[in-house]
């Protein structure tokens, strides 16, 4: 598989094989094997694999607790440059209905995150440093609740590009978090969100 990342006048290409997870081999009612789950801030996140006949592989990773910023990351995936992509469905939430991806995750207090929000109908990009989330950019975008969406982030050096459902919404240059880190998924507050698939590819 060949991945090509182009933002403005620069491009990054790679020929490594992407690593895809659909949670079909994981035990229902438990967190997925090989992942670390928790939250930035306060609260009680609840990350479990659940049966869903309508999802690829028949299972999803679902966040059904409530915390400031719940996250769940692959312990064996460390990327400096590459891309991450998640197939997610916002299910419910009075404060938020968000689905997101994280990369260059150093620990629960330091990482990049991009998310799409069904209550606000937007896509946004942040960095989290020392446990504080800082906004880099918001863009209006349709995010219907109860439907599957694909959120993708491509990153190389200081360049970051965020796409939702095949349309690119954000292109930025930012240097707040450098070097290698883990990748995974993310939600906010009381968002009940299902993730049907998670794919990443390392270019460096």
Give the pLDDT band (50/70/90) at residue 149: very high
Please report the pLDDT score of residue 10 as a whole number: 38
pLDDT at 184 > cutoff 60: yes
For residue 58, the SS3 value is: helix
Please report the pLDDT score of residue 9 as a whole number: 31
- 100 alpha-carbon distance from chain centroid: 4
pLDDT at 98 > cutoff 80: yes
Under a CB-based contact definition with an 8 Å cutoff, are residues 49 and 38 in contact? no
Q: Is 94 left (phi over 0), alpha (psi -120 to 50) or beta?
A: alpha
**CATH, domain 18-202, list 2.60.120.560, 3.30.390.30, 3.40.367.20, 1.10.10.10:** 2.60.120.560
pLDDT digits (tens, 9 = 90+) for 65-94: 999 999 999 989 999 999 999 999 999 999
Tokens in use for 160? Answer: 């970051």
- Across the range 46-56, mean pLDDT stands at 93
Q: What is the CA radius of gyration of the chain?
A: 15
Please report the pLDDT score of residue 54 as a whole number: 87
pLDDT at 204 > cutoff 90: no
**Domain segments of the chain as ranges:** 18-202
Provide the whole-model pTM: 0.91
| Nearest Cα to Cα of residue 20 among 200, 203, 181, 164 | 200
Under a CB-based contact definition with an 8 Å cutoff, are residues 102 and 73 in contact? yes
């Amino acid at each position: 598989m060949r991945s090509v990342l182009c933002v403005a006048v620069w491009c990054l290409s790679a020929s490594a094989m992407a690593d895809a997870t659909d949670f079909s081999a994981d035990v229902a009612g438990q967190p997925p094997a090989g992942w670390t789950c928790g939250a930035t801030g306060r609260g009680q996140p609840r990350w479990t694999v659940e049966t869903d006949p309508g999802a690829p592989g028949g299972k999803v990773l679902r966040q059904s607790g409530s915390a400031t910023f719940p996250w769940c990351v692959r312990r064996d995936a460390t990327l400096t440059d590459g891309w991450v992509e998640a197939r997610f469905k916002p299910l419910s939430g009075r404060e938020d209905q968000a689905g997101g991806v994280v990369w260059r995750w150093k620990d629960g207090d330091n990482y990049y995150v991009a998310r799409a929000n069904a209550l606000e109908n937007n896509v946004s990009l942040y960095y989290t440093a020392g446990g504080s989330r800082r906004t880099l950019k918001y863009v209006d975008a349709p995010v219907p609740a109860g439907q599957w969406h694909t959120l993708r982030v491509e990153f190389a050096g200081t360049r970051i590009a965020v796409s939702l459902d095949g349309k690119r919404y954000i292109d930025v240059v930012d240097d707040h978090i450098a070097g290698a880190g883990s990748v995974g998924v993310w939600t906010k507050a009381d968002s009940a969100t299902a993730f049907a698939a998670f794919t990443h590819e390392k270019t460096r």
